[in-house]
Amino acid sequence: TTNIVLDTQLPEAYKFKKIKHIILVASGKGGVGKSTTAVNFALALQSQGANVGLLDADIYGPSIPSLLGLVGEQPTAKDDKMLNPMEKYGLKSMSIGYLVPAENATVWRGPMASQALNQLLNETDWGDLDYLIVDMPPGTGDIQLTMTQKLPASGAVIVTTPQDLALADAQKGIAMFSQVNLPIIGLVENMSFFNCTHCGEKNHLFGQDGGNQLAARHGVPLLAEIPLDVNIREESERGANFIENASPITEHYTYCAQLVSS
């Protein structure tokens, strides 16, 4: 699935002139919480008054429809060329998951996948946005590199867990963005620790301090250490907006958003 080439010029400058900042949310490997971070980061930015869009660029594993509770819903056409983005909690989003059933997307060959990505990028009428958050496909292969080169992004946020393998892959992400001179806004360490529900003790079950060390080694900020928290999983599965619910986990995402918007 890595031999994907985005075959049209992306983006034509005029299409993005109404978008002030494109921010990529990336991870070196799957399952670390990249999409969860992208959604909550987008909602947190929005709760600070920004106009925000969320592009699900994870063609092979789109999770934005589920994270926003929009499974089975479809965008409307604006005209014969452009689609209106979906809207939930005031957040605009576009995902291949809105357009084709998940089981079809997984068997796509490269050219079809790249065409789909082009369509999501160029044929969505995003309108005026302060931020377009892009939930990148996991990994650091051709598709990620090409997207990074073609999108006029302002910066990237890299999500990792404290596990050695995830950190090693996050480091590849840092290297990839450095190679194309894209500023790294910071690292988010997800699943950093677990607060024992019985004794309240902080458990560093995937290891301790890895995100901090990686960030320090590359001179990038560590934006957040987000706990492994059953509410995050449950609320995400419900497609809830837990940024609105002012739960203790919310503050991590809000803090990230404040750093980025300042």
Residues near ligand ADP (CB under 6 A) are: 27, 30-36, 63, 138, 190-191, 226, 228-229, 232-233, 236
C-beta of 40 vs 47, nearer to ligand ADP: 40
**Smallest gap, in angstroms, from Cβ of residue 262 to ligand ADP?**
24
Q: Compute the radius of gyration of the chain from its Cα atoms.
A: 17
C-beta of 51 vs 190, nearer to ligand ADP: 190
C-beta of 99 vs 240, nearer to ligand ADP: 240
Summarize the annotated binding site as residue ranges: 28-35
Contact 26, 136 (CB under 8 A): yes
Q: How far apart are the first and last CA of the chain?
A: 37
C-beta of 53 vs 135, nearer to ligand ADP: 135
- The Cα 130–Cα 261 span in angstroms is 10
- The Cα 252–Cα 128 span in angstroms is 27
**Smallest gap, in angstroms, from Cβ of residue 230 to ligand ADP?**
6
Place of tokens 């890595």: 2
**Smallest gap, in angstroms, from Cβ of residue 25 to ligand ADP?**
9
Of 208, 201, 137, 216, the C-alpha closest to 171 is: 216
Give me the phi and psi of 6, to 5 degrees please: -75, 110
- The Cα 137–Cα 59 span in angstroms is 7
Summarize the annotated binding site for ATP as residue ranges: 28-35
**Smallest gap, in angstroms, from Cβ of residue 63 to ligand ADP?**
5
C-beta of 33 vs 53, nearer to ligand ADP: 33
C-beta of 83 vs 134, nearer to ligand ADP: 134
Token pair for 42: 């987008």
**Smallest gap, in angstroms, from Cβ of residue 53 to ligand ADP?**
18
Please list, in sequence order, all residues whose beta carbon lies within 8 angstroms of the beta carbon of residue 207, skipping any fewer than 6 positions away.
162, 163, 164
Own/partner contacts of 12-16, CB < 8 Å, gap of 24 or more, are 12/122, 13/152, 15/122, 16/152
**Smallest gap, in angstroms, from Cβ of residue 135 to ligand ADP?**
7
Token pair for 61: 């594993």
Question: Which residue type sits at 236?
Answer: S
Q: Do β-strands 194-195 and 91-95 pair in parallel, antiparallel, or remain unpaired?
A: unpaired
